Chains A and B, each alone.
Chain A
Amino acid sequence: MGDIESGFIGKSVKRKEDARFLTGSGQYTDDVTMPNQTYAHFLRSPHAHAKIRGIDTTKAKAAPGVLAVFTGADLEGVNGLPCGWLITSVDGTPMKEPPHHVLAKGKVRYVGDQVALVIAETSNQAKDAAELIDVDYEVLPAVVNCVDALKPGAPQIHDEAPGNKCYTWAIGDKAAVDAAFANAAHVTTLDIVNNRLVPNAIEPRAALASYARADESYTLYVTSQNPHVERLLMTAFVLGLPEHKVRVIAPDVGGGFGSKIYLYAEETAMVWASKRVNRPIKWAADRSEAFLTDAHGRDHVSKAELAMDKDGKFLALRVHTTANMGAYLSTFASCIPTILYATLLAGQYTTPAIYCEVTASFTNTAPVDAYRGAGRPEATYVVERIVHQAGVEMGIAQDEIRRRNFIRTFPYQTPVALQYDIGGYDACLDEAMRIADVAGFAARKAEAARRGKLRGLGYASYIEACGIAPSNIAGALGARAGLFEAGEVRVHPTGSVTVFTGSHSHGQGHETTFAQVVATRLGMSVDNVDVVHGDTGRVLFGMGTYGSRSLSVGGTAIVKALDKIVAKGKKIAAHLLEAAETDIEFKDGKFSVAGTDRSKTFGEIALTAYVPHNYPLDKLEPGLNEMAFYDPTNFTFPAGTHICEVEIDPDTGVVQVASFSACDDFGNIINPMIVEGQVHGGLVQGIGQAMLENCVYDAASGQLLTGSLMDYALPRADDVPSFKVATKVTPCTHNPLGAKGCGEAGAIGAPAALMNAVMDALASKGVKHFDMPASPHRIWQAIQSASA
Chain B
Amino acid sequence: MSFPLSLNVNGKAVSASVDPRMVLAEFLRTTLGLTGTHIGCDTAQCGACTVHLDGRAVKSCNVLAVQAQGANVLTIEGLAAADGTMHPMQTAFRDCHGLQCGFCTTGMVMSAVDLVARHPGADEKTIREQLEGNLCRCTGYHNIVKAVQQGAAAMGK
Contacts and interface: CB of A to CB of B under 8 A. Distances in A.
A12 B46 CA distance: 29
Interface stretch (B1-9, B36-44, B52-60, B65-73): B36-44
B139 A685 contact: no
A453 interface: no
Given A204-B40, A507-B102, A746 B140 contact: yes
Contacts of A204: 39-40
B21 interface: yes
A201 B101 contact: yes
Contact of A15 (B37, B38, B76, B97): B97
B101 A18 contact: no
B103 A681 contact: no
Contacts of B39: 30, 204, 284
Interface stretch (A91-99, A628-636, A712-720): A712-720
B110 to A, nearest CB: 10
Q: Which 9 A-B pairs have the closest CB atoms?
A: A24-B36, A254-B103, A21-B102, A507-B101, A507-B100, A680-B140, A684-B140, A24-B76, A709-B45
Nearest to B143: A677
A348 to B, nearest CB: 24
B154 interface: no
Given A203-B38, A286-B42, 7 more contacts: A17-B102, A18-B94, A21-B101, A21-B106, A202-B48, A202-B104, A203-B101
Given A681-B139, A722-B124, A25 B95 contact: no
Interface residues of A, number: 59
Interface string B3-41: 000000000000000010100000001000111111111
Contact of A28 (B38, B45, B97, B144): B38
A253 interface: yes
Contacts of A20: 102
B135 interface: yes
Given A23-B76, A31-B35, A709-B43, A720 B141 contact: yes
A287 B127 contact: no
B80 interface: yes
A706 to B, nearest CB: 12
A255 B103 contact: yes
Interface of B: 19, 21, 29, 33-43, 45-46, 48, 75-77, 79-80, 86, 90, 93-95, 97, 99-106, 109, 124-125, 127-129, 131-132, 134-145
B2 to A, nearest CB: 12
A680 B75 contact: no
A286 B144 CA distance: 25
A723 B143 CA distance: 10
A676 to B, nearest CB: 8
For chain A, what secondary structure do more than half of its interface residues adopt (helix, strand, loop), or is it mixed? loop
Given A17-B102, A507-B100, A24 B77 contact: yes
Interface string A1-31: 0000000000010110111111111111011
A22 B105 contact: yes
Given A25-B36, A202-B40, A681-B140, A722 B101 contact: no
A257 B140 contact: no
21 contacts: A17-B102, A21-B102, A22-B76, A23-B36, A23-B80, A26-B36, A255-B100, A255-B137, A506-B101, A507-B138, A673-B97, A677-B142, A677-B143, A680-B140, A680-B143, A708-B41, A709-B45, A715-B140, A715-B141, A717-B134, A717-B145
B41 to A, nearest CB: 4
Contacts of B99: 18, 21-22
Given A287-B46, A746-B140, A716 B135 contact: yes
Contact of B101 (A23, A27, A254): A254
Nearest to A688: B137
Contacts of A508: 100
Nearest to A199: B137
A683 interface: yes
A370 to B, nearest CB: 16
Contacts of A684: 140-141
A542 B30 CA distance: 33
Interface in A23-57: 23-28, 30-31, 33
A674 interface: yes
A278 interface: no
B94 A19 contact: yes
Given A24-B77, A287-B46, A253 B90 contact: no
A710 interface: yes
A200 B137 contact: yes
A293 to B, nearest CB: 14
Contacts of B38: 28, 202-203, 254
Contacts of A715: 140-141
Interface string A186-212: 000000000000001111100000000
B45 A717 contact: no
Contacts, number: 183
Given A682-B140, A709-B41, A718-B132, A509 B104 contact: no
A125 to B, nearest CB: 11
A685 B76 contact: no
Among A12, A25, A682, A718, residue most surrounded by chain B Cβ atoms (within 10 Å): A718
Contacts of A30: 29, 35, 39
A255 B38 CA distance: 13
B145 A722 contact: yes
Interface in A499-540: 506-509
B109 A22 contact: yes
Contacts of A24: 34-37, 75-77, 106
A683 B140 contact: yes
Interface string A698-732: 00000000001110001111101011000000000
Interface string A662-683: 0000000000011011001111
Contacts of A760: none
A717 B102 contact: no
Nearest to A22: B90
B59 to A, nearest CB: 12
Nearest to A17: B102
Interface in A362-419: none
Interface string A271-297: 000000000000010111000000000
Among B21, B40, B137, residue most surrounded by chain A Cβ atoms (within 10 Å): B137
B93 A287 contact: no
A12 B97 CA distance: 10
A252 interface: yes
A537 B132 CA distance: 41
Nearest to B36: A24
Contacts of A253: 101
A722 B90 contact: no
Among B36, B135, B141, residue most surrounded by chain A Cβ atoms (within 10 Å): B141
Contacts of B29: 30-31
A781 interface: no
A494 interface: no
B123 to A, nearest CB: 12
Nearest to B48: A202
B52 to A, nearest CB: 13
Among A18, A202, A723, residue most surrounded by chain B Cβ atoms (within 10 Å): A202
Nearest to A201: B137
A717 B77 contact: no
A710 B137 CA distance: 16
Contact of A202 (B93, B97, B137): B137
A58 interface: no
A652 interface: no
